[in-house]
Structure 1
Amino acid sequence: MTAAARILIVEDEAPIRRFLRVALETEGHVVSEAATARDGIALAAREAPAAIILDLGLPDADGISVLKTVREWSQVPVLVLSVRSDEAGKIAALDAGAQDYVTKPFSTGELLARLRGLLRDRARDAAPAILTLGPLVIDAAEHRASLSGEDLKLTRKEFDLLWLLAGHAGRLVTRDMILKAIWGPAHAEDSQYLRVYIRQLRAKLGDDAADPRWIFTEPGAGYRLADR
């Protein structure tokens, strides 16, 4: 048996979401639900689930676009659940980054077995839940960060932004990638959101935009967190 985990269901049909929730909670998992592509992407970024069950026929966007967006910042296992049984559709989903594909109607036992396999693979390859960059320590499980032993009082969005930058420390993270990951694809052009939160995060890190120690601006592109 695999350990209990948070599973995100992105599915527009409420009866299927309810059915999956019951099956997953019976296995001991914690379940989050989204009925649209936009909400699915936002929950994937905010909650960092252990796995995603993703329908391709969503009302506001194709599930493939959700998969591609999530893959810009996360390698979370994705199990596609779809009525599309054609080979081309399966290949498109797998090429976009899905780990597995189950066709509707589906066997509950088979779906749970495939999910257990994904979770076992993830446990073997899991990234650390705590990132340490010199005096900066970020704990994803506790949603806490400290600098030189002092707790940083971060809002949820500030923490999510810091965790995303820290996961790519030393490398450029584009504005587009950050906005989609933290605020969702509908805000991909809202750079003002990002500038405000970068300014707040710098203030809490004691950073200076003119002479940065932690967060560096890459003009016209995005931001880079120092790799210490």
Structure 2
Amino acid sequence: MSAEPLLLVVDDEAGVLRLMKLELTAQGFRVITAADGEEALRLAEEQRPDAVVLDIMMPGISGLEVMRRLRERSNVPIILVTAKDKDSDKVRGLELGADDYVVKPFNPDELGARIRAVLRRAVAAEVDRVVRAGNVEIDLNRRLVHKNGEQVSLTRTEWLLLQHLAANPDKVILAPELLSKVWGPEYRDDLQYLRVWVSRLRAKIEDAPAEPRIIKTLPGIGYMLSTGGGTED
């Protein structure tokens, strides 16, 4: 991250965009802006911002859908900005992947402080994002997997599945949650689909895929990436 972090600010109100760009630039950030979801996704891909400040209520692609698509591509910190102040709305935004939540109207200095806080957390998280499970090493930052020192070639879907498991080592991830995060909410009940992809992933990283020691099944619940190397129950 550079000395002046690059922010992508997304809002469909031109006046709000101008104000946020003016205030955040004065606080030492570099700022690019987008007036809708399509432009936001394009700029995020082209410019690779250090953080995204994202309005929820926008015509066309909503802020929550923009956030979902961004989360498929990267772990960029996202701060949601909205006029909604119900606790349920805040919880939903955070559950879907937001790093923080600011309600309009807000103090620009407070927004700047929250952005700096999520950037600090992001830097701290980047320090060690390598997960080791037995003879398998998963580098979440570089998106690389090695088994016995040899690089393992994964498809995009296999990587996304492994990424979600490895980001929460030794924790059970519910099957509907995995399906929703990797393939989308319309797949959340397709358990057989998930079993097939887990089987494919196991074939590449397990020594004995029929007796998995790394990706464990919790019958009727979900899956867990085990760093302990024990046998599956």
TM-score bracket for the superposition, by shorter chain length: 0.5 to 0.7
Change in Cα spacing, 1:51 to 1:151, as seen in structure 2 (3 Å) is same
| CA deviation after TM superposition for structure 1 residue 214, in Å | 2.1
| CA deviation after TM superposition for structure 1 residue 53, in Å | 3.1
Indicate the percent of aligned positions where both proteins have the same amino acid: 30
1:130-174 CA-partner distances (Å, limit 9, x unpaired): 212232111122211001101000112211211221223333211
Question: Within 5 A, what are the aligned runs for 1:40-119?
Answer: 51-57=51-57, 78-84=78-84, 89=85, 91-95=87-91, 97=94, 99-103=100-104, 111-112=111-112, 114-119=114-119
Aligned to 1:217: 217
Kindly report the root-mean-square deviation, in angstroms, between the aligned alpha carbons of the 2 structures: 4.7
Whether 2:132 is the aligned partner of 1:132: answer: yes
Question: Within 5 A, what are the aligned runs for 1:1-228?
Answer: 13=12, 27=29, 35=37, 51-57=51-57, 78-84=78-84, 89=85, 91-95=87-91, 97=94, 99-103=100-104, 111-112=111-112, 114-124=114-124, 128-228=128-228
The letter for the 1-side match of 2:37 is A
Q: Which runs of 5+ in 1 are unaligned?
A: 44-48
TM-score, structure 2 length as denominator? 0.63
- Structure 2 distance, partners of 1:137, 1:225, is 12
| CA deviation after TM superposition for structure 1 residue 95, in Å | 4.9
Greater C-alpha radius of gyration: 2
- Structure 2 distance, partners of 1:103, 1:202, is 46
Aligned to 1:46: none
Q: Which runs of 5+ in 2 are unaligned?
A: 229-233
Change in Cα spacing, 1:62 to 1:163, as seen in structure 2 (3 Å) is same
Which structure's relative contact order is higher, taking Cα pairs within 8 Å and 6+ residues apart? 1
- Structure 2 distance, partners of 1:192, 1:136, is 26
The letter for the 1-side match of 2:227 is D
